[in-house]
């Protein structure tokens, strides 16, 4: 990216990074599961409470037939 383009971006360094997963519903669910198995995303606060709180719910993407979820780190 050019310096001029970077200056136009309104990005705060306090914002958290995001990973967007876009694909079929099955692909998105598989990738979310893979992130937990590979410990890319670990958000289990305890062994009794197993909520996947860092991923947004799977929602329809703005592309035909695609779904998406976002991991906020």
pLDDT digits (tens, 9 = 90+) for 54-73: 788 899 999 899 999 998 86
pLDDT(44) > 60: no
State pLDDT tens for residues 1-23: 566 666 676 666 667 778 899 99
CA angle 50, 55, 58 (to 5 degrees): 110
Amino acid 69: pLDDT: 93
Amino acid 48: pLDDT: 44
| Neighbouring-strand partners of residue 68 | 22, 59
Q: What 3-state class would DSSP assign to 5?
A: helix
pLDDT(34) > 80: yes
pTM for the model: 0.66
């Amino acid at each position: 990216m050019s310096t001029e383009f970077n200056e136009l971006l309104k990005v705060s360094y306090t914002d958290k990074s995001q990973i967007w997963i876009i694909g079929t519903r099955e692909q998105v669910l598989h990738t979310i599961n893979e992130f937990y198995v590979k410990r890319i995303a670990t958000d289990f606060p305890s062994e009794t409470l197993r909520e996947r709180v860092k991923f947004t719910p799977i929602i329809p993407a703005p592309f035909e037939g695609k779904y998406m979820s976002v991991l906020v780190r």
